[in-house]
Structure formats: C-alpha cells, structure tokens
Chains A and B, each alone.
Chain A
Amino acid sequence: MGCKAIGGRYDPGNRAHRLARSACVTTVSLAGLVLVWWFLSVAIDRQMLPSPPEVWDALADLFANGDSMTGRSAWTYIGSSFSTFIKGFLLAFAVAFPLGLALGYFNLLREFASPAFEVLRPIAPVAWAPVFVILFGYQIGPMMVVFVGIFFPLMTSVIFGVRKIEPNWTDAAKTLGASPLQIFCKVVVPASIPYLMNGVKVGLGIGWMCIVSAELYASPVGGIGFYISNQASAGYWPGVFSGIFLVGVLGIATVGAADYLHRSLSKRMGVDAS
C-alpha cells in the first residue's frame, strides 16, 4: 500500500486513514487513465486525439483568456451549463416528488399511469432535444431535456419508497389517532425521503449527461456542450478535449455532492444509506 507512510498500519475505523487511502486510490486510478490516454494519443497519432499536455495548454488558455472564437470566458460556459442543469433539476424535483408520492399512495392512479410512463421511460432523454429546442426555444429546450432525464429515476424512486413503507408505521400512526392526511404528511413523506434522495443521486448523474448532449443541439446559447461542438466544427481538437475534460470533472463534483447529500439525509431520517 502506498499510503503506509501515513500513520503506520491502515485502520479502516479511522476517518483520516480512510480519506488518505481513498485519495491515494483515486490518484493512482486517474494517473492510470491519463497514461493510457497519453499512450493512445502517441500510438494513434491523429490530430483528433491530442495528448494530455496539449489539452492542458488549451484548458489553461481557455481559463486565462477565454474562448477566442466567441470571446466568452470559461466561467460563462460553466455557469450557463450549470444554471440550465439546476433549473431542469428543480423542475423535475418539483414535479416528480409530489407525483411519485401520489402514484405510490393511490394504487388506482398508479395502475392507470404506469403503462403510459413505461412507454416514455426507455426513450433516451436526448432524443427529445431536437423537438424541445424547436418547441421551447434554445433557452428552455436543453432544460427540458435535463428535466426528462432526472424526472423518471426520481419519480420511480419515490413510488418505490412509498410502497416500501412499513405497514406497522402507518398502523402505529392510526392507533395514535392520526388522520389519513396526517399519516401522509407525517409518515409517508418522511419515510420516503431516503428513497427520494437515492433518486436524486441517480438523477443528477443522468441529468449531467443530458445537459451536455442537449447543448450540442442548442448551439447559440449553450454552455460547455456548445463550446465542444464549436471547437469541433473549427477543427481545434485540444479545445474539444478541454471541454470534455471539464464535463468529466464537473460531473464527478455533482455526483459527489449528491452522494454526500444522500448519505447525510438518510442518516438524519434514521435509515442506512447503502
């Protein structure tokens, strides 16, 4: 183990040890990825696959001087992607949570809704992008793609959570005098929150994939996705890859944040997150 230097023997019960270990493992893994990439870029030797230093230079240039083709800064692109992403997520949350609760709680409603949702669910969210961009415009279109991507995993998790509620919890609430509405608010909703958070975790990952691909369509106002397609059409491949690199890093950050949120909330709700 490369981490032995830190405090002798590895102790899985020690938080600092765990963090150090996972940092080591992550570094080795990412270094491996960069090496493979480097090797491939040298071996294949085509301009579509630039080497890591070329991409790094392009990335540094983007952050230092902005995009020379449009004059926009790196942060403008990132901010634009993120704001679309967050808006799509909030919209999905606002619709999927109550809808999931209702569909989980009312069996008849779920029976009628299920076939319709089952037909829509397997459609790749990006398939809607051309339709949405024309229907809702360049601003709202990509957001709607994100919405579709996040909506289904979120709603499915909430429905699952509501249906998994211990019958004894609702029975206990009834014998304590709770009305159906109180049972819904004080038992069904809190009991389904860990499942909701699981849906958020999955949904954020999918949503992030959607945003970049949707932006490829929504060129004029797009964020990082637009930057990538713009650089590609100009044939500047290190630029393309610096965009791809940004997508990856921001994706990890998003999923990491969601994972943390899921874990801490599940803990608060008294349920083991696993």
Chain B
Amino acid sequence: MKRAAPVAKAPRFGEERGVQIVIDGLGKTYRREDRETEVIEGFSLEIRRGELISFVGPSGCGKTTLLKLIAGLIPPSSGAVYIDGRLCAEPGADRGMVFQDFALFPWRSVRKNVEFGLEVAGVPRADRRERAERYLRLVGLEKFADSRVSELSGGMKQRVAIARALVVGPDVILMDEPFGALDAQTRNIMQNQLTDILASTDQTIIFITHSVDEAIFLSDRVVVQTKRPMRIKEIVEIPWERPRDRSSMEFVELRKRILSELEKENVMDV
C-alpha cells in the first residue's frame, strides 16, 4: 500500500500542503432534445492535498454533476479539472467515488464488491483477498464478507461502498451524500467512523452533503453553493480539532450562519 508517513489524528487543516486539484472555469450544460439546462457555470476552485472539503447546496443545484465532472465520468462543456497538473478527462482509479445510491454490484458478495478494483488492476488473488479483508475490518464488516449485498442495511451498504473505493488506494475520494439515506443516529455513527477511517489515511476527500451539521463536523473547508447554475457563494475554513463538539458555541454559531445563508438560496435540512 502506498501510504505516506501517517498524518494520523493531526488536524487536517493548517499543515503545509500544496494544491492538488485545480478546477478551472468549469461549466456544464446538459442538452436533452431541445432543452438546455445550465447546471454549472464558471466554477473555479483549488483543493489542497489531503484536505476534506465539503460542498453544501440546495437540492438539484448540480453537486452530483460536479463530482462526476471531477471523476471524468461526464465531459465538461467548458473549463477543465486538473489533478497534480494532469487533465482529468477520463475516469481512473486515482479518483475513487462513493455514489449517492451506493452502486454496489448485487451479483457479487460483499467481499467481491470490495475486491472489484483490485481484480481489474490484476492484483493476485491472495493479495486481493488480504487487502479486501483489511478494509472490511476498517469499516467493521469483516463478519459480512460473504453476505449478499441485498441482505445488508443501508448503513452497511454505505460502508461496503466506502471500503470498495478506499481499497484501491485512490489519491482523491469523491463522496456523494454518502450518509443521505441514513437515519440520524446511524448517520452520526457513520460520521464518527469516517473521521476515524480518515485519520488513518491521507487521501483528499471531496464530500457532498445536504447537512450543514455534517459538513461542519467533518470538513477542513465547507464550500457553500448557490442554486442553479451552481457557483460558489462562500468558502468557510474550519481549523478546529477533531473530534468536534456539535454542541459547542462556535459550532452552533457557524451552523446558524451557514444555514441562514443557504436559506436565501433554498430550504435546507439541519
């Protein structure tokens, strides 16, 4: 595994890290028959290596579209995305993605889902199994390695999807509302688990969420977006230690401020 010297537990923000991802004047217009939808327009942003940056914005503002552009799954209408100076025009294993609806393969067992990326990379069977095992343990699903996907709860599916994306060791992980479908309690547990998982890895995380609370809890930076066409409304730096206390004054204040800003765009859930 390519793992840099562990940055474990250190606050992600504030370290001297270079820019890893450059989003340069990105624009996307969907054309369907005679209708055009301009979803993203003149979007520029620099993302630092190893940071967790989250995007909050009203529903349908184009968050998933932005992630798919970064992943290279859809072509931009204008502008471009670069990782370490390379143009991201095609999808690749350097950018892992956790999909909004998990997108697990139902014909594969949990273990086989996690092994998929290693399998297509030609990793030998024994090695593959061992690495999948390690990540299943990381997300606490080692007991379910041989279960079918359809037998899992939403939260478990989510963790399989996270393990599947992490196991190939991507530089960047794109997470599309990974906890959106979970109840509040499971969601909190998952957020804590993600914080733990992230402490042991050095990946850059681009995280999309509807929940301002979740964004503040997890992120080094929160990007607040406008509604369609999506632009950046504000970027909030959060240089606090982890784990964070949701009931602290500063947490509550910040949440209130971001929420009121989003309310001007649309109604958001807390």
Residues of A within 8 A of B68 (CB): 171
A179 to B108, CA, bound (A): 19
Q: Which residue in B93, B99, B119 is a CB contact (below 8 Å) of A186?
A: B119
Which of A171, A172, A191 gathers the greatest number of chain B CB atoms within 10 Å? A172
Which residues of A have CB within 8 Å of B168?
176-177
Residue of A nearest to B121 (CB): A177
Instruction: Establish whether residues A187 and B73, one from each chain, have CB atoms under 8 Å apart when the complex forms.
Output: no
Say if the beta carbon of B18 comes within 8 Å of chain A. no
Query: Is B92 close to A, CB under 8 A?
Result: yes
Interface size on B, residues (CB 8 A): 29
Q: Which of B98-156 contact A (CB under 8 A)?
A: 99, 101, 103-108, 116-117, 119-121, 148-150
Asked whether B71 is an interface residue with its Cβ less than 8 Å from the other chain, the reply is yes
Q: Which residue of chain A lies nearest to B74 when distances are taken between CB atoms in the complex?
A: A171
User: Contact between B106 and A186 (Cβ–Cβ < 8 Å)?
Assistant: no
**Chain B residue nearest to A187 in the complex (CB):** B105
In the complex, residue of chain A having the shortest beta-carbon distance to the beta carbon of B107: A269
Q: Is B97 an interface residue (CB 8 A)?
A: yes
Residues of chain A with a CB closer than 8 A to B119's CB: 186
B91 lies within 8 A of chain A by Cβ = yes
Shortest distance between the CB of A187 and any CB in chain B (Å): 7
CA distance A270 to B149 in the complex (A): 7
In the bound complex, residues from chain B placing their C-beta under 8 Å from that of A171 are 68, 71, 73, 91, 97, 99, 103
B148 touches A174 (CB 8 A): no
Q: Which of A170-202 contact B (CB under 8 A)?
A: 171-179, 182, 186-187, 190-191, 193
A179 to chain B minimum Cβ distance, whole angstroms, is 7
Tell me, in angstroms, the Cα distance from A191 to B105 when the chains sit together.
8
Q: How far is the CA of A57 from the CA of B119 in the complex (A)?
A: 62
Report the minimum CB–CB distance from B111 to chain A (whole Å): 14
Contact A268 B120 (CB under 8 A): no
A169 at the interface (CB under 8 A from B): yes
- A14 part of interface (Cβ distance < 8 Å): no
Tell whether A233 is near chain B: CB-to-CB under 8 Å: no
Selected A-B contacts with CB under 8 Å, 12 pairs: A168-B101, A172-B97, A175-B165, A176-B164, A177-B92, A177-B121, A177-B168, A186-B119, A190-B107, A190-B108, A191-B107, A271-B106
List the 6 closest A-B pairs by CB distance, nearest first: A270-B106, A177-B93, A176-B117, A168-B103, A174-B91, A269-B107
